[in-house]
């Protein structure tokens, strides 16, 4: 029985996927989608209204609705992070989705507003922060931590005692050895293999873990503090 009402922020592919998972594998009922007014291009999706984010409180009482910002890693997760904070400031409670087909050990700690797909393995003593996406089929090794606002795509291996800084992106099949720290705002490309620490704002690619001269924030076109998005 659905006993919680949910608003999905966004109306692109991830929002469509989130709708499927929340609808068929959670206690949440998706009642609406919301996008910023400047990006409002349609009035409904899957039979639910698509409304301007700015108008949400007038139509959907924050006390009665939760939200999930169904956005990917645009601007190194900055867009998802901004809308997550904005919806919280409007009074809405963040929702999470943790697939019943994921393996999450009993003492793993998972923050709010996370989306964990099927076939993830989260081992003992793992700590995952807020606003983290784990796409399908990842291995998060024991005693490792993933800080806030990260996006881990599919079939990533994070070995034991690793630490992932805030706002990182890991491409498919990226691999970390034991005891590796990845600095905040870093990007590991598809298939990257990393066996030593990576400083913040670093772009790493390839099976040899090549560090490029292009900072990850430049690659992802992250606006500087105070700049326009």
Report the C-alpha gap between 175 and 219 in whole angstroms. Answer: 21
pLDDT at 225: 60
- The structure tokens listed for 25 are 């594998």
96-207, what's its fold?
UDP N-Acetylglucosamine Acyltransferase; domain 1 (2.160.10)
pLDDT at 229: 39
pLDDT at 227: 39
Angle at 223 (CA atoms; ends 221, 228), nearest 5 degrees: 125
- Could you tell me where in the chain the CATH 3.40.50.20 domains are found? 4-94
pLDDT at 228: 36
Q: With H, G, I as helix, E, B as strand and everything else as coil, classify residue 94.
A: strand
pLDDT, one tens digit per residue, over 14-34 is: 999 999 999 999 999 999 999
* pLDDT for 82 beyond 50: yes
- Could you tell me where in the chain the CATH 2.160.10.10 domains are found? 96-207
* pLDDT for 107 beyond 60: yes
Which residue would you say has higher pLDDT here, 223 or 229?
223
pLDDT class for 216, splitting at 50, 70, 90? Answer: very high
* pLDDT for 219 beyond 90: yes
Token pair 């620490």 in the structure block, residue: 197
Beta strand extents in 123-195 (DSSP E only): 127-128, 133-134, 139-140, 145-146, 151-152, 157-158, 163-164, 169-170, 175-176, 181-182, 187-188, 193-194
Give the mean model confidence (pLDDT) for residues 114-135. Answer: 98
* pLDDT for 204 beyond 80: yes
pLDDT at 159: 98
At the second CATH level, the architecture of 4-94 is 3-Layer(aba) Sandwich (3.40)
Report the C-alpha gap between 217 and 87 in whole angstroms. Answer: 25
pLDDT at 224: 73
Token pair 């009993």 in the structure block, residue: 106
Query: With contact defined as beta carbons under 8 Å apart, do 157 and 175 qualify?
Result: yes
* pLDDT for 226 beyond 70: no
pLDDT, one tens digit per residue, over 139-186 is: 999 999 999 999 999 999 999 999 999 999 999 999 999 999 999 999
pLDDT, averaged across the chain? 96
């Amino acid at each position: 029985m659905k006993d919680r009402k949910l608003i999905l922020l966004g109306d692109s592919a991830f929002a469509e996927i989130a709708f499927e998972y929340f609808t068929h594998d959670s206690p949440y009922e998706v009642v609406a989608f919301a996008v910023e007014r400047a990006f409002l291009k349609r009035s409904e999706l899957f039979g639910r209204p698509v409304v301007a984010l700015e108008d949400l409180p007038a139509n959907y009482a924050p006390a009665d609705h939760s939200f999930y910002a169904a956005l990917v890693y645009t601007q190194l997760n900055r867009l998802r992070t901004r809308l997550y904070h904005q919806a919280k400031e409007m009074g809405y409670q963040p929702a999470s989705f943790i697939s019943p087909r994921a393996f999450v050990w009993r003492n793993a700690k998972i923050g709010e507003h996370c989306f964990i797909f099927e076939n993830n393995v989260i081992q003992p003593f793992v700590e995952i922060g807020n606003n983290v996406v784990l796409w399908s089929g990842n291995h998060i090794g024991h005693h490792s931590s993933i800080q806030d606002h990260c996006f881990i795509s599919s079939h990533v291996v994070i070995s034991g005692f690793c630490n992932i800084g805030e706002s990182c992106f890991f491409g498919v099949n990226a691999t970390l050895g034991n005891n590796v720290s990845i600095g905040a705002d870093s990007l590991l490309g598809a298939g990257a293999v990393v066996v030593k620490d990576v400083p913040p704002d670093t772009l790493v690619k390839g099976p040899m873990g090549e560090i490029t001269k292009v900072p990850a924030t430049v690659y992802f076109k992250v606006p500087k503090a105070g700049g326009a998005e």
